[in-house]
Structure 1
Amino acid sequence: MTAPYDPQEREKVVAKLPSDLRRELKVRAAELTTDIQDAVTDGVTAWLTLDEHATVDTSGGTSFATYLPAGLYKQLKQASKTRKVSYNQGVAQAIRHWLATHPSPRPAPPRTTGARRIVFGNQKGGVGKTSVSAGVAQALAETGKRTLLVDFDPQGHLTKQLGYEQHAIKAPSLAKAMLGENEKPLHDLLVPIKGGDFEDRLWLLPSCRDAFLLDAKLATTRAVRVKETALERVLDDVEQDFDYILIDCPPSLGYAMDTALYYGRTREGEQPGLSGVVVPVQAEDTSGDAFDMLTEQLDDLTDDLKVDITILGFVVNLYDARNGFIATSSLAEWEGMDEPVFGIVPELKEQREAVRMKTPLLAYSPDCEQANVMRSIARRING
């Protein structure tokens, strides 16, 4: 039977939906590893065949956008008119029907090794570690995962881009806690990241102004294994409160980076591939050179400490095919690596605008192409 629309040709559709329905859709789609546009397409297709249509409370609705096949979109508008319901009500009923017919899978078994730990690292600066780690954290939190985003870069770009202040030099901080100089519980240093469908499930551990001293102080520490375990010992206090802890690392190969890589290792009793390193890169040669240095550091660390640290995959950031052969051939090389490419983030204005506005991307422009790539990366990580 031929479909009455072409699934390859889609057009953007916008409706106003209540936040709880939008959030439930995003969580369920993530649980079932389904694109939101495919879930809505299935829901609308089924809704058109239903005889009974339970009313959905759409009061307080805010903008929700997705892409539907052009022919299906036309049918949805016509059916809503025929059934004497608003277009927003038709979309809401279709989504509610999809949710009812696609139940949540069984809950995952209880964790035995704390939160899943994802380290975003690359020795080269400017590749987008901050924007990628922040976007993926927001996307994970959208799906209902309790997520902590750690600004581990002394420059504090992540903290500033999200509209927060770095901890002052004399104030309690992550760095001081790692050096045993903190009297304040780590919980007290966390701040909630507001906005979007991730609110109430996303937290930030801000950077501190004196974190650049961390490498030097760790280098002079004489205690055995303190250099590698310093970050883990501190974050252990909050691990059970989160499903994911994401580390935005500095562009460095020093002792601080060692602590982050060690933190992302596969722990005893943990299934391989749940925690590890995600490497943001760009489609150009210097990212490859930096990755070579990172792998050398990983090899040294795993050999010295007899641990397993997995490179989970790459994210090719700020990609623009208009750069021609340099970009396309470099992308082909990344896609030919043993580790997968989790996503290709296009060079678009929305991320820069969000940074300028000091607002999370998925709150500033939740339906832009970059935001949807972040959600795709989060699905790959979440498995």
Structure 2
Amino acid sequence: MSSPASFSDREKVVSKLPGWLRQNLRVRAAQCGIDIQAAVEQGIRDWCDLASTVQTIDTSGADSFATLLPPGQWEEFRQIAADRRVSLIQGLAQSVQLWLDANPAPDVARPEITRRIIVCNQKGGVGKTAITAGLGEALSEDSNALYPVRVAKALAQALRASEAQGDDTEPVDDPLDIENLPGPGLKVLLVDFDPQCHLTNQLGATPLPMNGDSLTNHMAGEPKGDLRDLIVSVDEDVFGGRLHLLPACNDAFLLDVRLSAVRAREAALERALAPLESDYDVIIVDCPPSLGLSMDAAAYYGRRRDAERAGQSGALIVVQAEDSSADAYELLTTQIDDLRGDLQIDIDYLGIVVNLYDSRRGYIATSSLQGWVDIKDPRVVGLIGDLKEQKEAVRVKRALLSYAPKSQQAVGMRALAREVL
């Protein structure tokens, strides 16, 4: 098989393709990491080499399709199509379908051990819940569809851009590249571990009643049923049944008290969620702003297990670009480090997400962002702007990536998901 010609010496050709086939080509090329032009070139080459005709394709509704091919290939294709008494549109459609058949969609890469992500910070109001939801939504998007993703080739670019604008200037364009990429297609469980029930309410679910079953009951060793019966699906039309939520209950306000009487209380969350792990690729826990026993249990659940690679599970820390987040960060990391030492376990930091960022707030925002970037370990893996779409999604109780899938915040959540992956 000859290699595709370099793109610099190609010639532009224009024909037609039906919209469904063009979309399939875009998605499959992205899934396989192949340029569309190279895919079409290979499909035409294989079609020209066929010894027999192939099945006719419905090309009704075909509209303009342009691509770049090596010099001479289109003329050769035109001649072979004429010899076979096939229209150029039909021949091109058969060529594209031939390439699709030869390059099936890759299987979704599923982890051998369910990944457990603990979204945390002792300080309230930093947006842990929004990050939990956005990350889960991005991880569960369809692997057979394309979504705009901000490719974070250099977070420093965004930092430099923010430093270049003063308090009185308009925001500069996001300097990071945007690509259309397939969704990860993972099965995700979001766990609302906060008694305030913010995640449950934001996604339009109903908090569990105080007199019923709950995660708290299971952690305290007093279950009233199967935890699976409490789980609800999130926006099935958009996420295809891959995104689920374990709602919270106000009884979690009493969790620390109830855990104080539980044996091996640091493993209480793991004991409760372990039966669910075979159903999911990723479990994301939205932690309360607490340094109590519940946070110990969450951190322990995110520890690195035997045979699990470093960085697969662990703590994702959400902060803002302001001074009080730094104080809370120190309290949280001290607690996690103490737990590491006391129990002799490995708890990995998956990174820092700087949330609700707005460079127009001036020196405090930009210098604080620089401070987070300078930490290096854990590194900054996400920068999410303080924009209206997230607030609107919360108001209408919708998932952000369903409500505003092309917004800058949605694009940033997808970038975060790929950094965590």
Band of TM-score, shorter chain: 0.7 to 0.9
Gaps of 5+ in 2: 1-5, 10-18, 48-55, 68-86, 142-183
Match for residue 160 of structure 1?
201
Match for residue 43 of structure 1?
36
TM-score under structure 2 length normalisation:
0.70
- Alpha-carbon distance in structure 2 between the residues aligned to 1:102 and 1:128: 41
Q: 2:278 aligns with which of 233, 237, 240?
A: 240
Q: 2:342 aligns with which of 295, 304, 326?
A: 304
Asked if the contact 2:302–2:314 (Cα under 8 Å) also holds between the matched residues in 1, the reply is yes
The structure whose Rg is larger is 2
Q: 1:181 aligns with which of 222, 235, 240?
A: 222
**Counterpart AA for 1:271:** R
- Alpha-carbon distance in structure 1 between the residues aligned to 2:403 and 2:97: 26
- Alpha-carbon distance in structure 2 between the residues aligned to 1:377 and 1:293: 24
Change (3 A) 1:182 1:286: same
Match for residue 357 of structure 1?
396
Q: List structure 1 runs of 4+ shifted beyond 3 angstroms.
A: 1-4, 44-52, 54-59, 73-76, 92-110
Match for residue 125 of structure 1?
124
Change (3 A) 1:196 1:222: closer
Change (3 A) 1:289 1:99: farther
Q: 1:279 aligns with which of 289, 298, 317?
A: 317
Q: Deviations over 1:10-51 (max 9, x none)?
A: xxxxxx879x969x949x85x77x7xxxx7xx3268559976
Q: Deviations over 1:112-154 (max 9, x none)?
A: x4x1100000111111110111011011111221110000000
Equivalent residues in 2 for 1:1-383, closer than 5 Å: 25=27, 42-43=35-36, 47=40, 104=105, 108=109, 111=112, 113=113, 115-142=114-141, 143-195=184-236, 197-219=238-260, 221=261, 223=263, 225=264, 227-337=265-375, 338-382=377-421
- Alpha-carbon distance in structure 1 between the residues aligned to 2:102 and 2:352: 35
Match for residue 8 of structure 1?
none
The share of aligned pairs that are identical, in percent, is 46
Gaps of 5+ in 1: 5-15, 60-72, 77-82
**Counterpart AA for 2:293:** Y
Asked if the contact 2:320–2:354 (Cα under 8 Å) also holds between the matched residues in 1, the reply is yes
Change (3 A) 1:110 1:206: closer
**Counterpart AA for 2:400:** L
Asked if the contact 1:122–1:279 (Cα under 8 Å) also holds between the matched residues in 2, the reply is yes
Change (3 A) 1:75 1:194: same
**SS across alignment from 1:317:** strand
- Alpha-carbon distance in structure 2 between the residues aligned to 1:376 and 1:102: 26
TM-score under structure 1 length normalisation:
0.76
- Alpha-carbon distance in structure 2 between the residues aligned to 1:350 and 1:119: 24
- Alpha-carbon distance in structure 1 between the residues aligned to 2:98 and 2:403: 29
Q: Deviations over 1:248-291 (max 9, x none)?
A: 00011110111000000001121111000111111111111111
**Counterpart AA for 2:190:** L
Q: Deviations over 1:220-261 (max 9, x none)?
A: x152x1x10110001011101100000000011110111000
Greater mean alpha carbon deviation, residues 321-330 or residues 96-105 = 96-105
